Amino acid sequence: MTDTMRALVIDRTGEADELHLADVPRPTRISDEVVVRVIAAGANPIDAKTRAGRGVSAAIGTYPTVLGNDFAGIVETVPYAGHPLHPGDRVYGAARPPRTPGSYAEFVTVSSMSVAPMPASLGFAEAAALPIAALTAWGAVVDVARVHDGQRVLVHAGAGGVGHLAVQLAAYFGAHVTATCSASNVEFVQGLGAEHVIDYRAERFEEVAGEQDVVIDLIGNVKDDTGTRSLEVIRHGGLIVNVPTGSWPTMADEAAARGIRATGYSCSPDARTLAVLTRLVDDGALRVHVDRELPLESGAEAHRLIEAGHVRGKVVLRVAPDPE
């Protein structure tokens, strides 16, 4: 086995075309980490933001840098013989670039607390689409908002990567879900469990949504002041959870002035929560949609799709063929 691997890297931050294939050193496993041979890697907005010089780019120490959080693949090496994971296991999880090399590569090394057995009902591409989006949706809907039966919940960007999972989770826990999306995605989002779906181009959501207990804001104020307008539909004492980093710097002050609770959210790659999500997927209660599967060398195209903002579900990069 060679000491290098094929990876999609950047030599500097910038436009999507900065992404290119290169041979880089294979990451070295330490402590509780496992080595995973990557079959598919999910592409996320945070990857594109970091590549462009935002996101977590301030933590990039050296170049070339391998981006990518989500992965699904085969366990190569484990910390010790009696470890719950074994070489050959099919797993999925999340890396932590740029602290360590990311998942846009043939191999990734991650903490064993950030990886779990794949849902048996999914292939590698679908599994690679889940971790960051599903963990974020779970964190916002369940851990922070504590959504429960009878609540009224509005999810912005309900057809997106996090959004289409947040709609399903809110509905699963008994909420009356309203979601915003484009006209072409209305039927798709209805099929996820939203009772009321608003075409944001045709209607102003604050005029038709009615009073809400919780808003899961996956847009912020980067487009049409969506965050600020959301405050108009939240009851006094209600909650807004804003997810995209840097999308609404004045949120806390604006919400406090209206008597509304507000918080951002950043997901933690947690194997225990992934195990819960796995059960929901295998029970048919949660499904992930892959909009596009592209080869690893088409990473720039994947990032451009994400930045255009009209992806239904997720974009996935194929790193290797499915194992026989």
> Which residues, including other chains, have CB under 8 Å from residue 107's CB and lie 6 or more apart?
5, 26, 27, 35, 36, 37, 38, 76
With tokens 């964190």, the residue in question is 139
Q: Do the beta carbons of residue 57 and residue 13 sit within 8 Å?
A: yes
CATH 3.90.180.10, domain 4-129+288-318, yes or no:
yes
Distance CA(184)–CA(158), nearest Å, equals 12
Count the alpha carbons within 13 Å of 180 in the hemisphere toward its beta carbon: 23
pLDDT tens per residue across all 324 residues of the chain:
679 999 999 999 999 999 999 999 999 999 999 999 999 999 999 999 999 999 999 999 999 999 999 999 999 999 999 999 999 999 999 999 999 999 999 999 999 999 999 999 999 999 999 999 999 999 999 999 999 999 999 999 999 999 999 999 999 999 999 999 999 999 999 999 999 999 999 999 999 999 999 999 999 999 999 999 999 999 999 999 999 988 999 999 999 999 999 999 999 899 999 999 999 999 999 999 999 999 999 999 999 999 998 899 999 999 999 998
> Which residues, including other chains, have CB under 8 Å from residue 74's CB and lie 6 or more apart?
36, 37, 39, 88, 89, 90, 91, 323
Determine the pLDDT at residue 145.
98
- Integer CA distances (angstroms), 63 to 28, 103, 147, 228, 243, in order: 17, 16, 42, 38, 28
Could you check whether the bond before residue 25 is cis, i.e. omega within 30 degrees of 0? no
Neighbours of 243 (CB within 10 A): 26
CATH number at 133-264: 3.40.50.720
> Which residues, including other chains, have CB under 8 Å from residue 97's CB and lie 6 or more apart?
50, 56, 65, 66, 67, 68, 69, 103
Determine the pLDDT at residue 2.
79
In the chain, what are the domain boundaries?
A: 4-129+288-318, 133-264
Q: Do the beta carbons of residue 303 and residue 311 sit within 8 Å?
A: no
